[in-house]
Structures are given as C-alpha cells and as structure tokens.
Amino acid sequence: MSLLRHQCLNGWPLFYLVTGLTFAVICVGLVVIGVSTPEATVSMIRLSVQLASPWIFLAFVATALAQLFPGSFSRWLLRNRRYVGLSFAAGFGWQAVFIAVLFALHSDYYWQELHNTADLILRMLSYLLLLALTVTSFFPVRRAMRPKDWRGLHLVGIWYFWAAIWVSYADTVLAGDTRVVAIVFVVAGLLVLTVRLAAYLKKRSIPEVKGA
C-alpha cells in the first residue's frame, strides 16, 4: 500500500497529525523564545504564520496540480484539500492567540511601535473570513448553502489568503529580509500561482482544441 494511502495521512487523522505537530513546535517556541518581551512575542506571531503558510499554498494549488500532473501525490492532495485547508486555519489561529498575548502583555509596545489602523481592520476582517471558510468546510453547513455561494466564498478566501501570505513575505524580502524562510515562501507562492494559472489556461484551451 502506498504511504499516501495510510489512514494517518488522510482525512481527519491527517488534520490531527498536522495540528499536533504544529502545537508541538509552538510549545518548543514558547520554551526557546517565549513571550516575556514584545520582540519575543512578535517572533512567536511570525512562527505561527510560518507554520500555517505551507498549507494554504497546498490548498491553493490542489486542483490545478491534479489537472496538470495527475499522479499519486496530486490525487492525495486533492482528496485531502479540505483537511489541508483546515490545517491552515488551525495554524493561522495561533497568530490570533499571540496577537492577543501581545495586546495583553505588551500593549504599550503595540500602540507605540506596531499600530496601523488600516492593518488592524484588515486583520480583523481576515479572521472573520477565515472563520467563515472554516465553518462552511463542514458538510452540514455546506449543504445548507447554495453551491454557487459556497464556491464563491471559498474562491475568494483561497485567493485572499494566498495573496495575504505571499505579499507579507514579498514585502519583507523587498525590504532587505534575507532569511531563507522568507525567500522560500516568496518562491513557493509564485510557483503555486504559476501552476494554477497554467491549469486555468489549459482548461480554457480545451474547447478550442475540440472545435478545431
């Protein structure tokens, strides 16, 4: 049996595995970095985003990858796209936790050094969108929605969070951030975008080929 068919790597067990590993890394981060200073808390916020980012990129490219490169991995990813997306939501939720910690323990630092009203409003809207995507990922809620509305919500959500993650890393790299993790996420974000656009162009070209 293929490793990708193992029950631990499919469905809810996959989600539990990813969230468990994320929690373990967060715990290590709390021990090594902590939240005793505002700078340390900001580092934990960044760590939470780093842990969540791969999953939104995978969810973003799942369908396109299956169209362009059908195989065991792309089938596995498409089959588990829902749980990959939920893994992103769970990982990204840690960002909200540490932002709350920053407000609670280091509010003066936030208001004096980090506060940006537009950024705060956008961040709150992001969490509302993430909550909507999470809730509507469960089948009882999904069945209660019109298919067109569900697809529209998740199309907007997947593009929004891909853009939000990619732009945040691209901004830091353009500002002189030479960390490997930032460069990797910038390149990975462009790669999945390229794959998705290539799949879209391929899909659009099919009727023209049939009519030729």
Which 3 state secondary structure label does DSSP give 187? helix
pLDDT reading at 211 higher than 60: no
Query: What integer best gives the mean pLDDT of the chain?
Result: 92
Once rounded to an integer, what is the mean pLDDT over residues 189-197? 97
Task: Note the pTM of the prediction, 2 decimals.
Answer: 0.90
Check residue 116 and give its pLDDT. 79
Could you report the per-residue pLDDT of 54-73, keeping only the tens digit for each? 999 999 999 999 999 999 99
Binning pLDDT at 50, 70 and 90, where does residue 2 land? confident
Which 3 state secondary structure label does DSSP give 145? coil
pLDDT reading at 209 higher than 60: no
Please give the Cα distance from 155 to 10 (Å, whole number).
Answer: 23
Backbone angles phi, psi at 79, to 5 degrees: -65, -30
Please give the Cα distance from 103 to 22 (Å, whole number).
Answer: 23
Could you report the per-residue pLDDT of 87-137, keeping only the tens digit for each? 999 999 999 999 999 999 999 988 888 877 888 888 889 999 999 999 999
